[in-house]
């Protein structure tokens, strides 16, 4: 999802194709804005992108831009700009990074993809399944661009997603259609929607499959690779390009597994990353774990773009189910069961919880889950304090000492 | 676990050697030299300053001098602390979390909860009866509950840091300091001064607030061992913690040296293991 920072990690041949897919995504958006067609919709990253694509919109994801700002470390220039406007340092630092960049009229996308800037929206569509911040974030731009802001209010903290939840969200999704038809000037074609949902399902299945190659010992890739290669699953799901990309990546990963290629030389420990990435520190952390012969083989974050509920035969209902049945919408017990399954599947020795200061919804260490899981699973858990984008909240020394001590603990026991 | 290794080492060829640990902490650098019996033969403490490499070499040299041991007799130097990667003579590197645990377990070889209060951070380490670490936690990114916090507040009160322990012991009245932010605490103290609270009661309140910060990190049960530089100079802290927990709190000899001592033990154990 980020721009990619150089490190000692083993590069993939597929990266060239990845860059093409990402460049095409942004260049098409840029062209659309210049021509005035097709229309551009901004969408939250776990929002109803399929509906937007089916109605002819090109889709832009501000959260992806937030991650790009974090990975390029530009976020630290922009967060204070938004803080000064009254957007607190305690709220989502994707939001503050993105709003700050907008206020400064800057984006690394210009240099990276040769486009004229962030593509202007014709409509903004959010889903609060991740947090309330996305709604406030989109309303900022609604006021700036004077375009409609519409969205879905999702249930949160549920033990199980029930039929009542799904029906409610599906109805809300259907309720978006009249506004979208008005903005796009085209009627919703259900066959096209089925086609797009089918492509998203295929993309999601492939994304799941590539992530599962990390269950091999040694693992062919790490969490830090996942965060880069997840780009198409986020910004291009629902397109053939994303499907094609993951078929290429899967082949390369299967080849690595077949040949016993390890992402981390002499892999000794297999870890789980819970919570957001620390985008501005991906390279440093990747190198640290490599030095410690420890491979982060799975994460909640990257798994969050696996949507096995998509069903082309029942698009609205299945989209509603897929986007509500995500990790972040569930209660603690469900989340613990989920992590237990992954720990067993991937033969994980320890869990790292990233407590991201500005992302309470994606920080699962705050209600004693590490203590409960440690007892339940019999493997150690560590909490690292940091943030997705705001490096003012991250102490490198403390994080490194904690991680090294954690690995020492694994080695001694 | 016989951490002293008595009766196992004769004839191993290690008798003529010594082991050193160098703990480059946020405030001070400590060097310890031990022999095959894990007896501390010499040590030195100095400010860490800005030249960690030069400072750690000088500190080790002084510890060796006090031990009457030559550099050539050292089998292994293990470094620890925030400056652990800046100790050129180190053969091995370990975190201070591991080293404090190792050092404390040497003196108290049973399941325990170890609390290390350092200049910059505070750690709680749980160790089982076999000396294996079960879990550990470090304070959040905040100086409250650390040596830096006490130094900052001493400065505000116009006191030398060395006066704090004896002042706290003269306290006759409980004064509560509730904030977990050093800056906010300084503001709280201004209010207490304005209200006419005595300086010794304020200082005792500071130690109680450090204890409170520790209790917020972990429920602290079983045998409690308090280590690190702050308790070396302020043993009143162990009393305050003991009072709160209604239990005895143990302190290893020279708690400021426990990290460096634990580092040296790692070197010794490795050589013993061959």
Residues A382-394 have a mean pLDDT of 96
Most confident of B138-147, B150-159, B199-208: B199-208
Q: Does B82 touch chain A (CB under 8 A)?
A: yes
Is residue B225 within 8 A of residue B115, CB to CB? The reply is: yes
DSSP3 helix / strand / coil % (chain B, rounded to 5):
45, 20, 35
Residues B127-148 have a mean pLDDT of 84
DSSP3 helix / strand / coil % (chain A, rounded to 5):
55, 10, 35
Instruction: Show residues of chain A in contact with B140, CB under 8 Å.
Output: 385
Tokens 């590539």 locate to: A210
In this predicted structure, which of A80-89, B144-153, B220-229 has the lowest mean pLDDT? B144-153
Backbone dihedral region of A347: left (phi > 0), alpha (psi from -120 to 50 degrees) or beta?
Answer: left
ipTM of this complex prediction, to 2 decimal places: 0.88
Taking CA–CA distances from A395, the nearest residue in chain B reads B141
With 50 as the cut, is the pLDDT of residue B5 above it? no
Could you give the CA distance from residue B262 to residue B227 in angstroms, rounded to a whole number? Answer: 12
Is residue A78 within 8 A of residue A68, CB to CB? The reply is: no
Task: Give the model confidence (pLDDT) of A344-365 as tens digits.
Answer: 999 999 999 999 999 999 999 9
Q: State residue B119's pLDDT score.
A: 82
Backbone dihedral region of A26: left (phi > 0), alpha (psi from -120 to 50 degrees) or beta?
Answer: alpha
In this predicted structure, which of A113-127, A136-150, B174-188, B199-213 has the lowest mean pLDDT? B174-188
Is residue B26 within 8 A of residue A397, CB to CB? The reply is: no
Could you give the CA distance from residue A366 to residue A343 in angstroms, rounded to a whole number? Answer: 20
With 70 as the cut, is the pLDDT of residue A262 above it? yes
Task: Give the model confidence (pLDDT) of B180-234 as tens digits.
Answer: 777 788 889 989 999 999 999 999 999 999 999 899 888 898 899 999 999 999 9
With 60 as the cut, is the pLDDT of residue B1 above it? no
Tokens 């858990």 locate to: A381
- The DSSP bridge pattern shows strands B92-93 and B74-80 to be parallel
What whole-number percentage of chain B has pLDDT above 90? 74
Please write down the HEC assignment for all residues of A166-203: HHHHHHHHHHHHHHHHHHHCCCCCHHHHHHHHHHHHHH
Q: Does B273 touch chain A (CB under 8 A)?
A: no
Residue B144, CA distances (Å) to A102, A234, B120, B140, B224 in order: 37, 41, 9, 9, 21
Nearest to B23 by CA among B250, B232, B165: B232
- The DSSP bridge pattern shows strands A123-127 and A269-274 to be unpaired
Task: Give the model confidence (pLDDT) of A175-197 as tens digits.
Answer: 999 999 999 999 999 999 999 99
Is residue B175 within 8 A of residue B204, CB to CB? The reply is: yes
Q: State residue A4's pLDDT score.
A: 40
Helix (H) or strand (E) segment spanning residue A301: helix A300-303
Out of A385, A397, A413, the one facing B132 most closely (by C-beta) is A413
Q: State residue B3's pLDDT score.
A: 36
Burial A223-258 (b: 16+ CB within 10 A, else e): bbbbbbbbbbbbbbbbbebbbbbbebbbebbeebbe
Q: State residue B181's pLDDT score.
A: 78
Q: Does B95 touch chain A (CB under 8 A)?
A: yes
Residue A352, CA distances (Å) to A94, A214, A342, B107 in order: 22, 17, 14, 31
Residues A161-167 have a mean pLDDT of 98
Is residue A115 within 8 A of residue A109, CB to CB? The reply is: yes
What whole-number percentage of chain A has pLDDT above 90? 96
What is the nearest CA distance from B97 to chain A, expressed in angstroms?
A: 6
Cβ count within 10 A of residue B72? 6
Answer whether B138 sits within 8 Å of A401, measured CB to CB. yes
Residues A146-171 have a mean pLDDT of 97
Residues A258-281 have a mean pLDDT of 97
What is the nearest CA distance from B214 to chain A, expressed in angstroms?
A: 16
DSSP A360: G
With 70 as the cut, is the pLDDT of residue B151 above it? yes
Residues A307-320 have a mean pLDDT of 97
Instruction: Show residues of chain A in contact with B133, CB under 8 Å.
Output: 408-409, 412-413
For the record, the structure tokens of B152 come out as: 């900052």
For the record, the structure tokens of B18 come out as: 């010594």
Answer whether B138 sits within 8 Å of A395, measured CB to CB. no
Q: Does B135 touch chain A (CB under 8 A)?
A: yes
Tokens 């380490």 locate to: B125
What is the nearest CA distance from B202 to chain A, expressed in angstroms?
A: 30
With 90 as the cut, is the pLDDT of residue A71 above it? yes
Nearest to B102 by CA among B94, B229, B6: B94
Task: Give the model confidence (pLDDT) of B10-49 as tens digits.
Answer: 556 888 999 999 999 988 999 999 999 999 999 999 999 9
In this predicted structure, which of A169-183, A298-312, A323-337, B173-187 has the lowest mean pLDDT? B173-187
Could you give the CA distance from residue B214 to residue B233 in angstroms, rounded to a whole number? Answer: 18
Q: Where are the beta strands (DSSP E) in chain B?
A: 18-24, 28-34, 40-47, 74-80, 92-93, 112-117, 122-127, 133-138, 223-227, 249-250
Taking CA–CA distances from A383, the nearest residue in chain B reads B137
Answer whether B95 sits within 8 Å of A397, measured CB to CB. no
Q: Mention every residue, 6+ apart, whose C-beta is less than 8 A from residue A382.
A: A350, A351, A352, A353, A370, A402, A403, A406
Q: Does B155 touch chain A (CB under 8 A)?
A: no
Half-sphere exposure of B190 (CA within 13 A, CB side): 7
**pLDDT band for position B143 (cuts 50, 70, 90):** low
Task: Give the model confidence (pLDDT) of B77-101 as tens digits.
Answer: 999 999 999 999 999 999 999 999 9
Could you give the CA distance from residue A96 to residue A87 in angstroms, rounded to a whole number? Answer: 7
Out of A394, A402, A409, the one facing B138 most closely (by C-beta) is A402
């Amino acid at each position: 999802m980020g721009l990619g920072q150089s490190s000692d990690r083993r590069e993939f041949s597929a990266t060239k194709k990845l860059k093409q897919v990402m460049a095409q995504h942004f260049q098409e958006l840029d062209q659309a804005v210049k021509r005035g067609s097709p229309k551009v919709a901004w969408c939250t990253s776990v929002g109803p992108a399929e509906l937007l694509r089916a109605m002819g919109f090109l889709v832009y994801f501000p959260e992806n831009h937030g991650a790009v700002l974090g990975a390029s470390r530009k976020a630290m220039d922009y967060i204070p700009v938004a803080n000064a406007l009254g957007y607190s340092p305690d709220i989502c630092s994707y939001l503050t990074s993105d709003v700050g960049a907008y206020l400064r009229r800057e984006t690394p996308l210009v240099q990276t993809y040769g486009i004229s800037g962030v593509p202007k929206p014709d409509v903004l569509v959010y889903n609060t399944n991740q947090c309330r911040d996305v709604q406030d974030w989109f309303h900022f731009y609604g006021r700036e661009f004077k375009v409609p802001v519409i969205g879905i209010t999702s249930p949160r903290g549920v033990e199980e997603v029930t039929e009542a939840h799904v029906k409610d969200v599906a109805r809300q999704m259907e309720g978006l259609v009249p506004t979208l038809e008005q903005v796009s000037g085209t009627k919703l074609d259900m066959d096209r929607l089925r086609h797009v949902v089918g492509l998203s399902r295929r993309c999601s299945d492939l994304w799941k499959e590539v992530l599962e190659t990390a269950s091999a010992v040694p693992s062919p890739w790490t969490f830090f690779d996942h965060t880069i290669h997840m780009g198409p699953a986020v910004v291009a799901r629902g397109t053939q390009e994303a499907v094609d990309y993951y078929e290429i990546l899967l082949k390369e990963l299967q080849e690595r597994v077949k040949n016993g290629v390890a992402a981390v030389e002499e892999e000794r420990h297999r870890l789980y990353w819970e919570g957001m990435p620390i985008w501005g520190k991906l390279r440093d952390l990747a190198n640290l774990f490599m030095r410690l012969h420890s491979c982060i083989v799975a994460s909640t974050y990257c798994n969050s773009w696996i949507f096995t509920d998509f069903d082309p035969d029942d698009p609205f209902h299945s989209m509603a189910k897929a986007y509500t049945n995500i990790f972040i919408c569930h209660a603690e017990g469900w989340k613990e069961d989920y992590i237990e399954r992954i720990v067993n599947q991937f033969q994980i020795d320890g869990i790292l919880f990233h407590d991201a200061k500005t992302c309470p919804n994606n920080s699962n260490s705050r209600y004693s889950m590490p203590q409960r899981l440690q007892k339940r699973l019999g493997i150690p858990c560590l909490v690292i304090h940091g943030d997705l984008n705001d490096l003012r909240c991250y102490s490198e020394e403390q994080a490194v000492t904690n991680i090294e001590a954690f690995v020492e603990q694994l080695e001694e026991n | 676990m016989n951490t002293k290794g008595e009766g196992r080492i004769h004839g191993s060829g290690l008798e003529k050697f010594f082991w050193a640990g160098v703990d480059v902490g946020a405030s001070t650098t400590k060097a310890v030299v031990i022999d095959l019996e894990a007896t501390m033969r010499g040590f030195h403490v100095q400010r860490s300053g800005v030249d960690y490499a030069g400072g750690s070499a000088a500190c080790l040299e002084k510890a060796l001098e006090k031990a009457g041991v030559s550099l050539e007799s050292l089998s292994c130097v293990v470094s620890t602390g925030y400056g652990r990667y800046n100790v050129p003579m180190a053969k091995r590197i370990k975190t201070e979390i591991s080293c404090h645990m190792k050092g404390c377990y040497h003196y108290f070889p049973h399941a325990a909860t170890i609390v290390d209060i350092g200049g910059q951070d505070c750690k709680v380490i749980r160790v089982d009866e076999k000396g294996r670490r079960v879990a550990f936690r470090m304070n959040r990114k905040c100086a409250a509950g650390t040596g830096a916090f006490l130094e900052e507040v001493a400065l505000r009160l116009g006191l030398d840091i060395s006066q704090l322990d004896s002042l706290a012991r003269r306290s006759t009245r409980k004064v509560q300091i509730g904030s977990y932010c050093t800056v906010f605490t300084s503001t709280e103290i201004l209010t207490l001064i304005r209200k006419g609270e005595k300086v010794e009661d304020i200082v005792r309140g500071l130690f109680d607030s450090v204890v409170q910060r520790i209790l917020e990190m972990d429920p602290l049960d079983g045998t409690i061992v308090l280590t690190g530089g702050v308790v070396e100079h302020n043993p009143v802290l162990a009393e305050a913690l003991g009072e709160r927990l209604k239990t005895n709190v143990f302190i290893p000899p020279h708690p400021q040296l426990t990290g460096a001592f634990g580092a040296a033990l790692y070197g010794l154990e490795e050589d013993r293991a061959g």
